[in-house]
Amino acid sequence: ARRNAHTKKGIREQMSTHDGKGGKIPTVSDFVEKFTEKTSEQMKSSFIIAKFARVLYGKKCDQSIAGTWTQVSRVPSSTTTVSDEDEKTTDSLCPLLSGLGAPAFVCGIVDRLTTTLTISCTDDYTLRVVDKTPLTKENVTETGLRGIGKEETRCKTKGGRKEYMLSGDVKMDGTNQFACRLISRGDGWWTISERSLTDESGKYLRERNILRAPGKKDVVVDRYFERSK
């Protein structure tokens, strides 16, 4: 009796997955898999289209990155865009700090600190970023996004000993940028910081820091942040 029941079950399974002509009838799992793939592709396309639309509309402050963010060591691969295969990990700031002449021991201290960012758009064309660590007071950076080198503001470094010229821009993909022209170091010295969401979920932020110096390869350091609840 058990053998007959098992045989009948096998026949039913064959009948439920085959159309009798050698073809396979899609199962519920097949439909779910296809729907998931389609939904993922649509979300990615919508994310790209939305960013491109903001560029067409004008060089504006990116409201999607507004909020409070806490630095994390990595971003799980499941939360990044479809094309990203590896987990995103926060880089050490040492290459950038060393390029600016900071002592080695400073790098070790800075890398152990957790940075908190508070980002806001004070108007449609102005980005404001407040960064803070457990050992430092709030540092405020604010400028218009009219173009790198345009409408520059003269600022002092955190230590107050050197000056730089601050300006802002919006890249073609909608990413907001701060650009610091390091006038105390001479022509061709720049630091550029970019902040954008890692994907359409809006949960994680990438901060890309770039050091540009004459005759040298750009130093690029990425840090990642999670949106605070």
Instruction: Read off the pLDDT of residues 205-221 as tens digits, 9 standing for 90 and up.
Output: 999 999 999 999 999 99
Average pLDDT over residues 99-120: 94
- Residue 122's closest CA among 94, 145, 105, 88? 145
Instruction: Render 107-156 in DSSP notation, one character per residue.
Output: HHHHHTSPPEEEEEEEETTEEEEEEEETTEEEEEEEEE-S-TTSS-EEEE
pLDDT confidence bin for 12, thresholds 50/70/90:
very low
Confidence of residue 16 (pLDDT cuts 50, 70, 90): very low
pLDDT at 189 over 90: yes
- pLDDT recorded at residue 37: 59
Name the pTM for this structure. Answer: 0.72
Three-state DSSP at 53 gives: helix
- Looking at residue 160, its pLDDT comes to 77
pLDDT tens figures, 49-104: 655 555 555 568 999 999 999 999 999 876 555 445 567 899 999 999 999 999 98
Question: How high is the mean pLDDT of the chain?
Answer: 82
Q: Match 């409070």 to its residue by tokens.
A: 68
